[in-house]
Amino acid sequence: MSLSFRGYRLWWKKYPMMLLSSAFCSITTALTPYVAIYLTARIINEIAGERDVATLRLLVWLSLVTTAVLAIVNAGLSKWKTYERKALWYKRDKFYTGKLLSMNFKDVDSAQTNTLRGKIQQSDTWPAWGLGGLLADFDLLVESVLTILGAIVLSCSIFIYKVPESAGKLTVLNNPIFILVLVTAMLAVTFTVPMLINKGNSYWANYSGDITMFEKYRIFMTKSSPERERALDTRIYCQDVMGKKYLDEAMVHGDRATTILRPMRFFHTSSTAVSHVFTLLIYIFVCLKAWGGAYDVGSITQYIGATTALSGGVSGLLRFFGNQQNNAPFLMNVYEFLDIPNEMHLGNKSTGKKKENQYTIEFRNVSFKYPSSDKYALKNLSLKFNIGKRLAVVGQNGSGKTTFIKLFCRLYDPTEGAIYLNGVDIREYDYREYMDLFSVVFQDFNLLSFSLGQNVSAAVDYDAELAEECLVKAGFGERLKSLPNEMETSIYKDFNKSGVDISGGEAQKIAIARALYKDAPFVILDEPTASLDPIAESEIYEKMNDMVGDKTAVFISHRLSSCRFCNDIVVFNEGRIIQHGGHEKLILDKEGKYFQLWNAQAQYYTT
């Protein structure tokens, strides 16, 4: 239960009105039927007894008024509850997105974290366990407790009223032993029903692996596979044929899950049958006592309704506890995710506002390996450069170039060694302030389906003139003039039908403009012209000095033509810097890696 209590505390802390509205709605839902049961019994007793018109009129009016009032109250509370639970999936996912946005990048980048997140998403949607399932169980808990209390109040007198001696053999119903046997049978049935339901529900938890695999295949084949981005490859390479194989495999997992879950249906059906047996016992006992003269005929409706509700309330309460047990593994996944610690030291030293050329970055004997790997991605790296310089980072795929940038921006901390800014270990600086020193265009950058200006500024409100200036510098000026709403034009059509689609090269120019808009002292461009045609690439490099100004620029590129614009070049190979110098120096070393890379590209541009 401690797992469930923690979940309710999370909901209460973030959305207290959601739980309050559910509680009040459940209170009226649970108690309203008892008002009708009680007043109906009084009316029937009056009709079967004294038949006093004034009394009947009062009871009827009281019944009508209370029913109407309670109906209005129920409707209002239900509306409130619905309002508070609107976009429930969004409110639930805010727990996860909030955690992701505050999490260290190394954990966001971790395969283990993404696997855990996938498990949570699956259990949230089918069969709706996890944090979302707690809300449905909260309603069940409140209704069950109040149902039990109301039923006890209305049914406790059933054992007090005695069958008169004139009833003959029916006086056996007064025997304490008979009553004890009957109560025992009622309790046995009451406990058996939720036990069967909980046993059935446990199959969801025990076999969630098969269900998860089925869901993964199903979601990919029915949602991801038909996406627009995959349409060309699907048709050219007949990927639908290959996809059918995996869709069939998904159905195998689905059939297996269905087979596994058959016992669940058996237990649920059995619980219904046992519940009907209980109802039959109640009817027999109550009717026999009324037949023997223990109470008036109208009380039959009261006692049958109350005792049946009592059984339902106890069953609901036990079902609640069973659900918590079945939900526990899914909640453990949630808390394992939410409890991932931020181990990166954030520091508190200010980076300050340094004068021109006052920033110096130095890597001292830096080695790094990813958390899930035993192999070093970088080994014994030492490098120093000042602001205002142009540094090119080149090397073959997998040589450590992008990893170098991730450490440079402090997305990861070194495994060994240290990185220094102006002689101070970067771990001592305030993390946010240090991050603000960098404008980066990553190789796999992302733009959002919002306005062009908001994408460039990375903000809701922005300086339109500055954003336009950065776009022009990045070579997007002519395209900007053709846009229907210029800076306010939406990129893509996800949220705006009048949005525009942009090419990969145009997107890259926007990403470069975004880096310029930030106006950080370090500009890092990871394959900045990968999606550009040769002419656009040439224009970008020709304007690079104007774009970057007195900032430090770091270029990562497979196109070594970018190296001609740089003061320094470092050549990576297998996680090490094997060459360092200017283009003219490195090109003279015909045994060096740089010469090999340069010639490998140059031969296609010379005759």
The CA-atom distances, in angstroms, between 397 and each of 287, 462, 553, 572 are 85, 37, 21, 10
In the block, tokens 């223990």 appear at 294
Radius of gyration of the chain (CA): 36
**Token digits for 267?**
């237990």
pLDDT score of 513: 92
The domain ranges of the chain are: 2-207+261-338, 360-602
Note the pLDDT of residue 532. Answer: 67
The structure's pTM equals: 0.77
Assigned token pair, 406: 């991730």
DSSP state of 220: I
Neighbours of 400 (CB within 10 A): 23
Burial (Cβ within 10 Å: 0-12, 13-18, ≥19) of residue 508: buried
CATH architecture for the domain at 2-207+261-338: Up-down Bundle (1.20)
Question: What phi and psi values does residue 104 have, to the nearest 5 degrees?
Answer: -55, 145
244-250 contacts, C-beta under 8 A, 24 or more apart: 246/217, 246/220, 246/221, 247/217, 247/221, 249/217, 250/213, 250/214, 250/216, 250/217, 250/218, 250/221
**Which alpha helices (DSSP H) does 126-261 contain, by range?**
130-155, 176-206, 208-219, 231-236, 239-260
CB atoms within 10 A of CB 262: 9
Spans in the chain with pLDDT lower than 70: 126-127, 190, 193-194, 197-232, 234, 237-265, 267-268, 272, 275, 353-357, 528-534, 536-539, 541-542, 603-607
Q: Tokens representing 6?
A: 């923690």
Contact in structure between 77 and 25 (CB atoms under 8 Å): yes
Instruction: Give me the helices (H) in 293-440, please.
Output: 298-338, 401-408, 431-435
β-strands 522-526, 552-556 pairing: parallel
Give the pLDDT of residue 237: 66
- pLDDT value for 544: 72
DSSP-derived secondary structure letter, 377: S
Q: What is the pLDDT of residues 68-85, one digit of tens each?
A: 999 999 999 999 999 998
Tell me what pLDDT residue 87 has: 80
**How confident is the model at residue 298, as a pLDDT?**
80
Alpha-carbon distances, residue 118 vs 115, 126, 365, 599 (angstroms): 5, 12, 38, 46
Read off the pLDDT of residues 373-391 as tens digits, 9 standing for 90 and up.
889 999 999 998 877 788 8
| CATH class given for the domain over 360-602 | alpha beta
What is the predicted pLDDT for the residue at 217? 62
Please tell me the predicted confidence (pLDDT) of residue 412. Answer: 93
